[in-house]
Structure 1
């Protein structure tokens, strides 16, 4: 991946959904409970930007301050021990040049498609974002209709964590890496917003 683009497209879909949730919480919870619910949603409400790759295969909602630069010219899954050729990918960060370095606090996200369904993902011992995090916590989940295995890497050299996930679709898998501040885990929110368009996937793979 080489070309870096500035992300400019704002998104309102997530923001609108949260305002609907706030309104329902107020109506259903009663006065005191509603105030508590409304306060909680207000404090956790954060603007997001929806970022897509050039082929329209991958799109994901990310915090505005993360979504300043993107690279979307594909990846080679062999770097993660996979066997297929170049596939669609999306890398987003406020600072693409530094977010993968252990001495950088910049958050970032990588999403890559693979057709290799045989290899173990996410990797257990090593990571393509090798940031020296000592501890791995694994769990299973489902995001959209895609079952997932999620590894959370902690005890890192800096004030951040790394989440790696492998989501399984129909004939493909999605490899996701999230580096983020340790005090605010937004992995579930990001993974839950991820969308893959399979019909575009077929024509965009190289």
Structure 2
């Protein structure tokens, strides 16, 4: 039977939640994350909130798996997270360069993978259309590409972005956990050798 007073377990739970949220907020204020606003996918429009949620969830996972882990385990987790970050980053940059068109005013459009029948007959460049072709029909990608390909393009961009962000948050979280573990080990008192008893 627990000796904790009534409600202590709930208080401890909420205390842990607050620690996780504080950690997520700390990670979010790192300039590396703050400078990514212009690199985020154009869709969905609330992608900034999605990214913020990812940071909090990633912080929770990193803290859960990193707490109490050995140095060897943390190194393996860091290697896994680093691989995830690199793969997600290159996938996202490739998709961004291929599927996102930035107009002169700064607006960004997501292009599809396949043009509709009408656009295929009109433009030999399909599906790699430029702002010149899109300007002929009010810069509306839905008038040039199939809805299926536009949906696939949007989801692939978001998937690559999530992979990159999840890996990056995990790297930061587990790196912090590793530093804390080393500090805790250095601060831990060492047991002095017991004197040998003379028989």
> TM-score over 0.5 for the alignment?
no
- Higher RCO (C-alpha 8 Å, min separation 6): 2
- TM tier relative to shorter chain: under 0.3
Higher strand share: 1
Query: How high is the TM-score relative to the length of structure 2?
Result: 0.25
Q: Which has the larger radius of gyration?
A: 2
